[in-house]
Amino acid sequence: PQEREVILLASAPADETAWRDLAERVTRGSFAIFITPASLRRDDNPVGGLFLEKKGRFYHFHDWLYHKECVAREHAVFDGLTGKGILDWDYYGPVITHGLFDGQRTPDDVIVAAFALGYPCPGGYTSGMMMGAYRFGEGMFLVNTLGILENVGRHPAADRMLLNLIRHAAKTTQPPLAPPPRSRSP
């Protein structure tokens, strides 16, 4: 590339060459949005594509009558939506999913976290991240478990969040492209 890019990934890169290319683009200043957890799958590892040393895990939390609370901080992703604080299950509906990331380092930009307290799970408590962004070289990558992509065209919150995510990522692509990294494996 000749300039920084916003890269939206709906599925995982096809092979090692594509993963290396993506890693280089991000380290040079691009912003990659892993819009679904499936876009992080590498081989048999659901989080194998995370550009982190400690990859942690992705798992499904069993929500039903008792559910986790999803908490969003004030962020550009929620411009024009009800955000900041506990996400309203009635408002967001199918956009709130069961997926959580856990065990990674804290993102540089935590956008949505979730927790359940007093729940019939081991220890009575669980928590995880639903959306967050990490710096990687000169760029960033965002991971997401919210059901944005599968609800585009069906749910107005998903439509708005996708536009807001792209707009937010585009703000970071103004500086010139950084030089290629010396040697880095994703």
Q: Read off the pLDDT of residues 112-148 as tens digits, 9 standing for 90 and up.
A: 999 987 666 666 777 899 999 999 999 999 999 999 9
Q: Count the Cβ atoms, other than its own, within 10 Å of residue 110.
A: 16
Tokens standing for residue 38: 């499936």
Q: Read off the pLDDT of residues 20-58 as tens digits, 9 standing for 90 and up.
A: 999 999 999 999 999 999 999 998 999 999 999 999 999
Residue 61, pLDDT score = 85
- Model confidence at 184: pLDDT above 60: no
What secondary structure letter does DSSP report for 150?
A: G
Tell me the whole-structure pTM to 2 decimals: 0.91
Q: Read off the pLDDT of residues 151-168 as tens digits, 9 standing for 90 and up.
A: 999 999 999 999 999 999
C-alpha distances in angstroms, 57 versus 48, 60, 87, 145, 160?
A: 9, 10, 23, 12, 28
